[in-house]
Chain A
Amino acid sequence: MKYNPIVNEKIAKFEEFASLHPYQSEETIQGSLEVMYELERALCEISGMDYFTLQPAAGAHGEYAGLLIIAQYFKSKKEKRTKIIVPDSAHGTNPASAALAGFEIVSLKSDENGIISPANLKEVLTQDVACMMMTVPNTLGVFEKNIAEISKMIHENGSLLYYDGANLNAVMGIARPADIGFDVMHINLHKTFSTPHGGGGPGSGPVGVKSFLKDFLPMPLIIKENDEFKVSFNNKKQSIGKMKAFFGNFPVLLKACAYVKALGGVGLKEASTQAVLNANYVLSCLKDKVSIPAGNVCMHEFVLSSKGHLGEGIKTLDVAKRLLDYGYYAPTIYFPLIVEEAMMIEPTETESKQVLDEFIDVLSKIIDESKTNPEIVHNAPVNTFVSRLNEVEAARKPKLHW
C-alpha cells in the first residue's frame, strides 16, 4: 500500500467527471473517454500487452475476466481444455477465479527455492491444460528466473500464460509481462497505481491481452477514431460479455491515469526501482534476526519466517499484534501458505528511510521482547482501541447486525 496522492483525490472530485450519467451520448463525455483511453494506452506500454479492458472492478474480478477470455478463446478454436495450473504460492483468488470460470484446478508445487521449476511443471502439463497462472515476482518476492523456459513449455503445449499483476509494482519499466511470455494479465490499480484502498474497496482490475485475444475482451471498449473517442461494441460476437454494469470504476481509473501522468515513463521505473531497493534494505537489516526462506535478495517484497527466532510459545500472530502497539499496521501474515510462520514485508517506494529504519528497530525489538518478556507480546495489542478479539466466538455464534 503506497502513498495516495492528495492531488488525485482533488481531480477525482471535479464535477465534470463526478456528475456524468453512464448513458450520456459519446460527444458529451469525450473528456472521460479520453482519460480511459490514455490510461489504456499507458497500461499497454507498461505491460507490453496490445489491448486492455478497464471494466473489471478488482483484481479477482480481473482474474475472472482473464480466465473467461481464455475459455472463450479455446472454445472458438474448438479445443477442449479444462484445467488451470495454479502454483501453491498463489493468492487464494487465483484458484477461486479459475473455479468460477468453470475450470478444474491443478496445484503446482514450488521448488525448494520457492519458484516454479520446469521439471515440476512438466509433470502436470497435460494436453488439457488451458493456462497457467503466475505471479511475477511471486508471492515470496522472487522473480521467476525460469520464466523463459516455462513460457516455451506452456506455449509448445498450446496453453496460455496468465500474469497476476498483484506484484507489478516490482517491475514497471524493468520487465514487461508480455515481453517475457505472458498472454493475459490483470493489474490492480489500487495497489500499483496508488489509488486508496477505502478500507477494502473500490478497486480496479483492468485486463490486458495480446492482440490474438482482443475479440474476446468484455464490452464495451474505448476506441479513438479521427481524434474522437468512441464506445465500441464491435467485438459483440466473440466477447465474453459484460463483467459489470457500464464502464468500470471510473474514479479509480481517473486517479490511476493521474498517477501515470505525474510520474511519466521514467518516474514509473524509478518507483519500481525504489520499491525494490527499499525491500532489499529492510531484508538486509533483518536477515540475521529471522529466516528468509527464499534467499537474501528480493524484488519489491520478501517473506520472512519467524520460526525458531521467537521466545517460547510466541507466534507470528503475536508479533503482528505487538506491531499494532507500536503504531504499525501489521503486514500480511501466514501467507504464502508454503512458508511457516510467514510475514510478508512490502515497504513500497513511498516510505522514507527514517520510517524503514524505525520499522526495522521495532521489529527487532519485538523479537527480543518475545524472549525477554514473552507475556507482553502474547498479550498484545494493549495500545489499541480494543484488545485481542475473540474470532472463534464471532464465527460460532455470528452476530452480523444490531
Chain B
Amino acid sequence: MNYIPINEQDKKEMLARIGVKNTEDLLSLQIPEVLRAKKLNITEGISEQELLLLFKNYAKKNKSNLVCFRGAGIYDHFIPSLVDEIIGRSEFSTAYTPYQAEASQGTLQAIFEYQSMICQLTGLDCANASMYDGATAVAEAVLLAVRTSKKNKVIISSAVNPEYISVVETYTKNLNIEIIKIEIDEKTGSVNQNLLQSKMADDIGAVVVQSPNFFGIVEDMQVLSEISKTKNALFVAIVNPVSLGLLKTPCEYGADIAVGEGQVFGNQMYLGGSTFGFLAVKKALEWKIPGRVVGQTIDKNGKRGFVLTLQSREQHIRREKATSNICTNAALNAFAGCVYMACLGSNGIKEIAETNISKARYAFNAIKKIDGFEPLFSNSLFFNEFVFKTTKNVKKIEKQLLKENILGPLNLVKINKKYKDCIMFAVTEKRTKQEIDKLTDILNRV
C-alpha cells in the first residue's frame, strides 16, 4: 500500500505539463547523480490485511491488561467512553495546527476550554496550550522561573519524580543554571523544612516541590511556599491534577507556577507517552510563558471567536529570543484531558480524588497487617501511592503477582539504590475491592 491516489494516465499528463519525460529526469534536475541513494533495504510493502496481522503479532508479545498497582508518574485510571469518542473524531484528530483561525475554531475553542479548566483547577491566571509531558513541563517551569527571577540557582526537592529531575538536568546543563537537589527527611518521606530553610539565599531563583511527591506523600505546600518567599524565590508546584479535587490549589498556597503530568486525565498509559504536561502561572508571568496560548477575541461582526495569541513570545516570530523552542505540543492529549474534566465536572473530580484516597487507604491498611511489611515512612498523609519495606523477596513477589495477572508494586531499588527491599504501590479508583483483596492475599502467600 502506498496511499497514492494517482494513476499512470494522471502521471503522464502531469509530466507532460511540467515538460519532463519521467520522474527520474525531474529528480535529476535538482539532485546531482552522485548524491542519489541506492535502493532502500526495507522489506516490500504489504496489504492492510497483512499489516493488521503483523501488528497483532507484535501486540501478542506484550503482557497487557494487567491489574495495575504500579504508578510512579503514570497511572491506570478509568477513562469515560466519551473521551476516546470525541478526540477520535477526525475534525480534531487530523486537524492541522490552528494557524488559520477562522477555519480552526473547533480546535481553538477546545484549547481555550482546556486552558480555562487548568486555570480553575490550579487557581492560577494563565495556562498554555500544553507541553509534551509532565517532565518537560517541569523543565520549562524551571527555565521560566530563572528567566523571571534573573537568578540562576534553583532548589529542587529530591522527592520530585526522578524522571522529571533527569529532564530538568538535561534542559539546564548548558545554560549556566545550578540545580540544587535537597535531600528529604527519610523518616517522613517529605521535604526537610529545616534543610530547605538553611539552603535559602538571595541568589535562589526558584524552589521546586512536588505534591503528592514521588512517594505519594502530600507535602506541606503552604509552609514550603512561605519558606521560599522569605528570599523572594518563585515557588513552583508540581501537582497531580486528580489530587486537586481535594487538596488546596497551588494558588491558595502562593505558587507562582503550577505544572504537572496530565496523563491521569483521560489518557491511556501507552508505555508512558504520548501524554501531556500542563503549565499555569500567575498573571505577572503571562508574557513569559513557553508555548502556544489561545485567547478569546471577536470577529469583524463582533462575534466571539478564538485565536493563537501572545505570539510574539514564540519561536516563529522571535527565533533565538523566543521564550521556548516548542512548536508542536500535545494538543490532542490535552484535549483528552479537557473532555475528561468536562465529563466529570468539579464534583466528579472531587469524588475521584476521594475514591483514590479511600481505596489506597484500604490497601495500605490491609498490607500493613501482613507479616514482613512495614510502611517506609511515618508520614501517613499520602494520596494514592505509598511505600512499604518488606522482608520478603521482592523479585518473588513481582513474579507471583505477574503470574496471577497483576502488575505489582514498583521495586524502588531500580530507581534509587538506597531503597533496597522497598516497594511502591499505586491504588487508583479503578481498582476494585476484589482486586485489592487478591493482591494482599498473594502478598500473604509469597
Contact = CB atoms under 8 A, between A and B. Distances in A.
B51 interface: yes
Contacts of B273: 22, 57, 202, 244-250
Given A201-B329, A242-B163, A387 B18 contact: no
Interface in B27-75: 27, 29-32, 34-37, 39-46, 48, 51-52, 54-66, 68, 70, 72-74
A196 interface: yes
A216 B436 CA distance: 43
Nearest to B10: A353
Contacts of A95: 315, 319-320
B95 A263 contact: no
Contact of B296 (A17, A270, A394): A394
Interface in A76-93: 91-93
Interface stretch (B195-203, B216-224, B287-295, B344-352): B287-295
A196 B298 CA distance: 29
Interface stretch (A25-33, A156-164, A306-314, A369-377): A25-33
B14 to A, nearest CB: 4
Interface string B90-119: 001111111111111101001110011001
A254 B86 CA distance: 21
A401 B132 contact: no
Interface string B297-324: 1111101111101111011111111101
A320 interface: yes
Contacts of A29: 62-63, 271
A301 interface: no
Interface string A364-402: 000000000000000101001111111101110011111
Nearest to A98: B320
A22 to B, nearest CB: 3
Interface stretch (B247-255, B331-339, B361-369, B383-391): B331-339
Nearest to B73: A245
B224 to A, nearest CB: 23
Contacts of A27: 63
A384 B15 CA distance: 36
B95 A268 contact: no
B227 interface: no
A198 B92 contact: yes
A91 to B, nearest CB: 8
Contacts of A359: none
B328 interface: yes
Interface in A317-373: 320-321, 324, 329-330, 332, 335, 349-353
Given A267-B45, A281-B18, A395-B309, A92 B316 contact: yes
A280 B26 contact: yes
Q: Chain A contact residues (Cβ within 8 angstroms of B): what range?
A: 35 or more
A163 to B, nearest CB: 13
Given A242-B166, A249-B274, A329-B103, A194 B269 contact: no
A17 B273 CA distance: 11
A148 B304 CA distance: 53
Interface string A45-79: 11010000000011111011000100100000000
Nearest to A380: B102
Contacts of A200: 96-98, 107, 111, 129, 292, 328-329, 331-332
B182 interface: no
B407 interface: yes
Interface stretch (A4-12, A118-126, A207-215): A4-12
A18 B274 CA distance: 10
A117 B192 CA distance: 59
B286 A398 contact: yes
B45 A251 contact: no
B417 to A, nearest CB: 14
A131 interface: no
B101 A198 contact: no
B51 A258 contact: yes
Contacts of B105: 384-386
A290 interface: no
Contact of B17 (A2, A284, A297): A284
Interface in B167-183: 167, 169-171, 173-176
A267 B299 contact: no
Most-contacted residue by chain A among B42, B43, B112 (CB, 10 A): B42
Interface residues of B, number: 155
B272 interface: yes
A199 B107 contact: yes
B233 to A, nearest CB: 23
Given A28-B62, A245-B134, A277-B23, A267 B2 contact: yes
Nearest to B29: A297
B307 A23 contact: no
Contact of A28 (B63, B93, B112, B173): B63
Most-contacted residue by chain A among B62, B176, B294 (CB, 10 A): B62
Nearest to B91: A199
A244 B45 contact: no
Contact of B34 (A16, A32, A148, A384): A148
B136 interface: yes
Contacts of A59: 327-328
A200 B30 CA distance: 32
B6 interface: yes
B307 A394 contact: yes
Contacts of B39: 173, 265-266, 269
Contact of B115 (A14, A22, A393, A401): A401
Contacts of A22: 73-74, 269, 271-273
Contact of B319 (A92, A202, A260): A92
Contact of B96 (A21, A30, A197): A197
Contacts of A176: 37
A113 B402 CA distance: 63
B130 interface: yes
A263 B332 CA distance: 26
Contacts of B331: 198-202
A7 B104 CA distance: 26
A395 B322 contact: no
Most-contacted residue by chain A among B136, B170, B407 (CB, 10 A): B170
26 contacts: A35-B58, A61-B325, A96-B322, A99-B320, A101-B174, A102-B173, A173-B40, A174-B27, A197-B95, A199-B332, A200-B328, A202-B274, A202-B331, A241-B166, A243-B136, A245-B161, A264-B44, A267-B45, A277-B26, A281-B17, A324-B103, A381-B103, A388-B300, A394-B296, A395-B309, A400-B294
